[in-house]
């Protein structure tokens, strides 16, 4: 996929720099994630126009070689031959499996000399990751060589590399907004460039059921479709009963098999999520008898569904939860998980378990009867009863259960794993109880949050800047690190309508997540990381991939002194200056430079700000009104 863009990408990035006095000089290598060990040499290997890839005799390696050949041969100037062999040949690319136990799981050794390239690993996954590194190393001379031919070059380098964590995930929500089979494949392609190996696929929610369950056809004939609305999700007007349900879609089981195989060939596991007992309105719209509350239900189209009082307990405006006291629910789930387990080879199935609105359970006679019968003291124990029954269903399919950290409430089955999203607290508690944990806290890795100031970002209820994401540490102090499987970033798509916006929200923050989960903790270096991020911006530009440039924008700290508003600003990367105006004009590099907190003039209506580097604007023009500044200080 994306073949036609690959050549452009390789031609656009990591251009070799020349010095008139010293001749050619070595450039800094810009790899993301940072490898365990990298030693640069002098000189280059120039990839010949007729290049040979030599592999050990192994079917998986042959597939990887074909993927690499496909990348190289996007240029009509290059042809690639794949051969089996046990020794490298001069001016070739050699991919070999080794019995060397000193190479860790998923690890590899990559060596570039002036005579060729070799990648060695103990398993095909390591070879695959070595190839991703090689593709990042490829350089292109800006000018033709002496013979007038454009050439691809790789600098002499020796790399020893392996991941810090085995679980390196991205979660994609396809329920709130649907993404096609090909778009999911594109997402996988982008993931693996940066060594992610787990796609958490959020397949059901209040706004859509996205997976074909043949024994329950209404899940897709009804649950996959809703009224099409555009604007700010969560604030839409309720759809009329006769409005056509034209927005949506689902993946057939053949689609699922195809995507699973596509991911497998790229060393990505897919974790399916069926979100229960809450977030189940699409299922209840399909089969209303699954709710505790009798009524007529429809798939949510983006109208308000939940209320979140400040400092209080959230509650639902209608019953969107499966009923733990209804035996039909467990029969339903047995059918669902039977088919899900057959489609996904990964060892875990995600049951959700988050944000269950229990106000309808509180009023349910069936729930009260269940509590008496099972001696359940409160609604935490009701949910725990549900979780334990779901765990038995999933276990019977040969799978392990994982869920959001709410599944801890009331007690957790002994062999369940926890994905901690409400900060690190749930993961810490789960690990202390001996459960395996995947860290996915909102305050570090929720990629649906705004990336910069709310004055310029598409509105979401919180901001998460790149620097904060880079500070993510999956292993808290005092926790057994063996129980922390790894981490992942989540992309909830309520406000993400299309792939361009999806890309904008993912990159570059996913670069930070990739480095946190792959690279040694002690190698983390913010300033060096941002240098490499900027180099990779050119790759994204060349590939036509959208991304956020928010790291160039300042952060605002608004306060009040007596009746005067005070604005403090800071940049998250080095080397930037901030320029501003209060007179309604648009500042540039010639405007006043910010050096200390600003007192907002009494009659000014708006502050306009832009960042510059080396005397040229680099950030976005940001306009902050006085009304907004007052709002942020809680004043009128």
CA 92 to chain centroid, in Å, comes to: 35
Q: Which long-range contacts (C-beta less than 8 Å, at least 24 apart) are formed by 282-285?
A: 282/175, 282/204, 282/205, 282/206, 282/207, 282/208, 282/209, 282/219, 282/223, 282/224, 283/204, 283/209, 283/219, 283/223, 283/322, 283/332, 284/319, 284/320, 284/322, 285/222, 285/223
How do strand 555-561 and strand 484-491 relate by DSSP bridges? unpaired
Task: Supply 71's token pair.
Answer: 């990348």
Phi, psi angles (nearest 5°) of residue 447? -80, 0
Task: Give catalytic status of residue 100 as yes or no.
Answer: no
Nearest residue to 415 via CA among 365, 353, 347, 510: 347
For residue 347, indicate whether it is catalytic: no
Q: Helices 124-137 & 59-72, crossing angle to 10 degrees?
A: 10
Q: Coil, strand or helix: which one is 109?
A: strand
Q: Distance between CA 572 and CA 555 in Å, rounded?
A: 8
Q: Which of 487, 418, 452 is nearest to 171 (CA)?
A: 487
Please give the span between the terminal C-alpha atoms of the chain, in angstroms, as a whole number: 54
Pairing assessment for the beta strands 606-613 and 622-625 based on DSSP bridges: antiparallel
Q: Would you say 178 and 226 are in contact if contact means Cβ atoms under 8 Å apart?
A: no
CA distance 629 to 576: 23
Residues 355, 429, 443, 534: which is the catalytic one?
355
Q: Is 5 helix (H, G, I), strand (E, B) or coil?
A: helix
Task: Say which of 279, 435, 536, 579 is annotated catalytic.
Answer: 279
Distance CA 402, CA 539 (A): 36
User: Sign of torsion, CA 383 386 392 397?
Assistant: negative
User: Known catalytic residue: 205?
Assistant: yes
Task: Please say whether the beta carbons of 483 and 507 come within 8 A.
Answer: no
CA-based nearest residue to 506, from 209, 169, 236, 97: 169
Catalytic hit among 173, 190, 205, 453: 205
208-209 and 204-205: which strand pairing? Answer: antiparallel
* Catalytic positions, written as ranges: 205, 279, 355
């Amino acid at each position: 996929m994306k073949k036609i863009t690959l050549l452009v990408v390789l031609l656009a990035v990591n251009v070799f720099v020349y010095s008139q006095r010293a001749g050619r000089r070595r450039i800094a290598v810009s790899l993301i994630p940072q490898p365990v060990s990298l030693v640069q040499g002098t000189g280059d290997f120039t990839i010949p126009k007729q290049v040979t890839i030599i592999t050990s005799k192994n079917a998986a390696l042959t597939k990887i070689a074909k993927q690499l050949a496909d990348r190289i041969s996007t240029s009509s100037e290059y042809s690639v031959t794949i051969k089996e062999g046990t020794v490298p040949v001069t001016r070739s690319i050699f991919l070999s499996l080794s019995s060397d136990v000193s190479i860790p799981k998923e690890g590899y050794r990559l060596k570039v000399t002036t005579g060729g390239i070799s990648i060695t690993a103990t398993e095909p996954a390591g070879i695959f990751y070595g190839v991703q590194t090689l593709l990042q190393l490829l350089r292109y001379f800006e000018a033709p060589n002496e013979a007038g031919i454009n050439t691809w070059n790789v600098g002499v380098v020796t790399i020893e590399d392996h991941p810090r964590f085995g679980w390196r995930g991205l979660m994609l929500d396809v329920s709130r907004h649907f993404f096609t089979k090909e778009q999911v494949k594109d997402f996988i392609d982008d993931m693996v460039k940066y060594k992610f190996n787990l796609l958490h696929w959020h397949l059901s929610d209040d706004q859509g059921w996205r997976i074909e369950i043949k024994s329950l056809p209404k899940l897709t004939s009804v649950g996959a479709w809703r009224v099409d609305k555009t604007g700010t999700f969560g604030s839409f007007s309720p759809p009329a009963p006769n409005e056509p349900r034209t927005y949506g879609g689902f993946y057939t089981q053949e689609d699922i098999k195809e995507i699973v195989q596509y991911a497998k060939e790229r060393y990505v596991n897919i974790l399916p999520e069926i979100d229960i007992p809450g977030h189940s309105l699409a299922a209840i719209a399909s089969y209303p008898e699954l709710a505790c509350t009798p009524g007529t239900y429809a798939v949510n189209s983006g109208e308000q569904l939940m209320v979140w009082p400040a400092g209080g307990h959230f509650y639902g405006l209608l019953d969107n939860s499966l009923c733990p006291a209804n035996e039909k629910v467990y029969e339903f789930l047995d059918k669902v998980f039977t088919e899900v387990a057959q489609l996904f080879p990964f060892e875990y199935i995600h049951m959700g378990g988050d944000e269950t609105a229990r106000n309808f359970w509180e009023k349910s006679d069936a729930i009260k009867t269940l509590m008496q019968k099972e001696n359940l003291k409160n609604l935490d124990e009701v949910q725990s009863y549900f979780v334990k029954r779901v765990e038995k269903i999933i276990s019977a399919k040969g799978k392990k259960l994982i869920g959001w950290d709410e599944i801890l409430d009331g007690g957790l089955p002994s062999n369940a794993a926890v994905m901690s999203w409400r900060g690190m607290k749930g993961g810490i508690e789960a690990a202390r109880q001996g459960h395996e944990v995947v860290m996915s806290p909102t305050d570090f890795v929720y990629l649906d949050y705004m990336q910069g100031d709310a004055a310029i970002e598409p509105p979401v209820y919180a901001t998460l800047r790149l620097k904060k994401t880079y500070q993510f540490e999956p292993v808290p102090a005092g926790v057994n690190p063996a129980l922390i499987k790894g981490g992942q970033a989540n992309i909830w798509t309520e406000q993400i309508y299309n792939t361009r916006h999806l890309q904008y929200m993912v990159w570059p923050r996913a670069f930070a997540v990739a480095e946190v989960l792959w690279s040694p903790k002690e190698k983390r270096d913010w300033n060096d990381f941002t240098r490499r991020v900027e180099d990779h911006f050119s790759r994204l530009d060349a590939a036509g991939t959208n991304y956020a440039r928010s790291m160039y924008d300042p952060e605002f700290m608004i306060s009040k002194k007596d009746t005067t508003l005070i604005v403090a600003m800071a940049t998250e990367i080095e080397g930037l200056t901030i320029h501003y105006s209060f007179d309604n004009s648009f500042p540039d590099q010639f405007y006043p430079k910010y050096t200390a907190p600003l007192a907002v003039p009494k009659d000014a209506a708006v502050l306009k700000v832009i960042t510059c580097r080396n005397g040229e604007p680099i950030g976005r023009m940001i306009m902050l009104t006085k009304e907004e500044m007052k709002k942020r200080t809680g004043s009128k």
